[in-house]
Structure 1
Amino acid sequence: MHAVTLHGRKPAHRNRLLLAATAFAVALTGAVAAAPTASAAPAPGASASPTSVNRFGVSTVTLTLDGESSTQSTPTDLVLVLDESGSIDSGEFSQLRNFADDVVEAVADDGLFANGGRAAVVGFSTGAHTVIGLSADETAVRNAITSNPQATGTTCISCGLNQANTVLGPNDPARNQVVIVITDGNANGGDPTAATAASLQGKATVFAVGVGDSVSQSTLETIASGPGSDNTFSVGGFGGLAALLETLVAAVSVPGATNPSIAVTLAAGWNLVPGSITANLAGSSIGAVTVDGFTWSRANLADEDLVITYQIKHEGAPCGPLPVNSSVVYDDDENAVVNFPPVSVNVNCLPPVAVAGPDKTVAEGSAVTLDGSGSHDPDGIVTSYAWSGADAGIGTLSNPSSAVATYNGLDDGADAVALTVTDDNGLTDDDSTTVTVQNVAPVLTLTTCPIQPNAVNTDVSFAGTFTDVGTLDTHSLSVNWGDGSTTPVPAVSSPVGATHQYTAAGIYDIAVTVTDDDGGSDTESCGFVVVYDPDGGFVTGGGWIDSPAGAYPADPTATGRANFGFVSKYKKGASVPTGSTEFQFKAGSLNFHSNDYQWLVVAGSKAIYKGTGTINGAGGYSFMLTATDASPDRFRIRIWQTADSTVVYDNQVGAADAADPTTALSGGAIVIHKG
């Protein structure tokens, strides 16, 4: 049951009667024995400590409920049933009226009327009458009590009980119905007290007060809702009623709840810590425990302070200020309304740490891995990776959603690539790395070079191709023909080629250079391009040289005299020179004789010609002879196997084919004849 909370009672009543009341107080149904003290009633409370935790952290939630204030919600209807029989003299009846007035004042002070309650007074003797029906007006009720005359007569207790039943009206589950019966004697013989009492007890809680020695305990227990001292009280005389005020009012009006329960359901983001639920009141029961909540219950709750604590652990997501409880539902048999305030705990989640790895260098046309696997989350896991920022003019990304991505270099430059990682709570972090793409020079291949001798003032051509792994590069071409002239081509693509005419006989080196727009280049040379002038003169020579060590690979130590004689000239209108060449190196038993000539170049004081011949009568050899008509005359001959270019003799080993000879004649002369 709920009854009205009594606050603000006059100190003269409370202090004077408190000790006496304690002696009589017992645990009543839905109430505690001690009388309430006047104080401000706290509301239901909910709090958490700490109010800020890290991810997966634990906080302790505390729910508080003051049984006196928080469960008070049902208004009370109180009916005082007063004995007016003739066995009570006028003085005693005056004391009875004063006591009834004090009861009404006390319940008013404790909020009966303020909480929607009402009071009524019934008098009985031979019959019963309504002194005042249920009224929410304290003054009217008290005035009716003090002005009510005594009826006198016999003691018809059933009459008074029936009248109270009538005054209360039909059973109203939305209201507490309480009756206090005060009498000094037993009922008239044959009075149907038990039947009428049972009818009244079906909808109201009935207390019985016996005054003097004429009332039997059995009569009081018949009237009251319960036996013994739970609902019955006795005093020696009407003057002693005052000592019962606190006890009686406390028994009637201390708030209480029958079968109260509190069902806690946690909000998303929290789990209940197993074994963490505590309740301070004896008799508390904890049930329906799951990871999502529990239910507290008890047989009753009266003027007590309930404290429930339980621990919650963050599930891992989400973060920020999170409500702790999805719902906290209070319930009791009296339909009290208790609303616990919301409580929240702020969850501090740490973002992941993105690690894009060290800066990388890669060549154009090549790939390099970008390793973000060092990324981590201090309080969770990394759930996704996102590489971005590749400049389309420098490179591209492959597998950008993986921890390890691939960067493909396209063109030289420095590219800042970003890595964004996201954790299992949706938080992100960024890091970046710089990829430097280095230029790779183009690769040139000369596919066609002048092989046969070319007459002066005729076209000399070459052709070639080039490749470049830098697919975004552009290219230019430059040709150095070797005669002091160059041909620049500002924009080319593969294949390439050019044509040139030489105006003077000579052996030229055509140098072809392809350059990309980043400054990378490749140069290839045709080398030894023979340009002759059929009308440019001829050369003759004879004599000997001192052959140096190493000139004869078959015996590198062989040295000594080597004799030579030669003539090489173009006949009129011929494109191939004629003549004869002899070379003998006795230390190597080498005797070379020419068979034919391929070309002759006479340029100034230098002549060079090429042909084939035999050694010691065996064919399969080629030679090149270079001579200068100077002071001193100089001579070089290089002989090799035609099939595999194996050198048989060269008195100027390692020098370029077109190099000027360095071996001076030891005897004889070389003469260049002008055309």
Structure 2
Amino acid sequence: MGITNSNKEVNVSQITCGGTFQVTLGLSAAPDISENPVDIVLVLDRSGSMAGSPLENLKLGADTFIDIIDETTDSTQDGQIGSGSHIGIVSFSGSASADTQLITSVADLKAAVAALSAGGSTNHADAFSTAASLFDPSSSNEKVIVMFTDGKTTSGIPPAPVAETIRDSGIIIYCIGLIGDTGIDVDVLNDWATDPDASHVAVTPDDSELEDLFADLAANISKPGATNIVINETLNPDFTIVSIGMPSSGTAAAIDSQSLQWKIPSLGVSGNEGASLEFYVQHTGQTSGNLPVNQSIFYSDTEGNTVTFPDPSVQVDCGVSVDPESCPIPVDFTIEKCQDSLVVDLGDVYLESSGRIVQLNVKLKNVCPHKRVALGIILTETDNYGSEYQRGMKAITVPAHNQKNCQDVEVKCIKFVLPEDLNVSGCPCQSLCCERHLKVRIIAHYIDTDFRCCDSTVTF
């Protein structure tokens, strides 16, 4: 079969700036189908959410899958599944039906696929049970279920125990998920599929990719397992590898802080086999947003299998970042050999971050003892036409004094910052040499008073 599935997934969808997350690479492989016949049941979701382009693209994917198996089993696309292999079709919504048994006629298989129509709920348990019932327990053929679905279980019994029983009987389960209207739960698909999950589950949000997913799975069936596998992964520059776990097969090592290499001597040569690698990645860049995890990933093996890994991304939240001053542009120069002195003209250098600090003092007149004062200062700047622009407001609590009589209270050092990039004076250049015209308004009142509201009672 060659490589039957490839996957890459992350364990989170969102992190904060500098956060860490886990990446899992997965592969599965199996022997050549022409020498090791396989019975395959395609289990196809025809629930109501599949109406329209999802169902049409599913049919294209299933037909392509059937054509590839037809050709690879006997080296010709002659309308018959050869070499002792078979394909069966099961479809499901609120209940499942065996649209064909395990047969070899390509025309009959495609006719069953073409007849599918969307409608109803989603009963995964019945779909699994119906698919498993098609296999002949006495057959020595490898047994494979390819479950396709676009949504969560909405009818029938829980499917997980049914899938577990099927796996325990030796049947291999692959899951293909389309993120539909009700949303696909990847953890559920992982629970249903044969281990390792990463190499037996594939998910796409775009139904136009379904044909490619089915084609990739079927195309690799024509090849024997894979040998001398090399996977080179390079991360997006915003991420750094923190640690690399021990892979379930082969060896993995960091090439540098942003790339690794995973080598597997052989996989799936004598039987269906999966392999996975987990490593941890940290965000070390300054960029926020939905960032792809890897910059590139390349696969090679002796058999020439074609492998495409998904390209997961992570939403990175770095909060609000302001960088008011860019790094100065350097001036390059060289001191020649045997030269013990050098004069370099660096040109003009302008002051960075110019601005003013305004410090205000105010005297509050006749402030009564034992009363706090709320003081507000509003600063504006005017242009040459008299228009005002806000430059700041401060609210200050002035503590009460304990003198016997009313006193004047000075409030000192009320500071405002006026960057020159806010200058509206019309001066041709932003510098401290330009005049700026300001207005200040002051509001003050007592916080503490002797007045208390009370209800008045009038008696007649």
**TM-score band w.r.t. shorter chain:** 0.3 to 0.5
Instruction: Give the TM-score, by structure 1 length.
Output: 0.29
Instruction: Give the TM-score, by structure 2 length.
Output: 0.41
Larger Rg belongs to: 1
Structure showing the higher strand proportion among its residues: 1
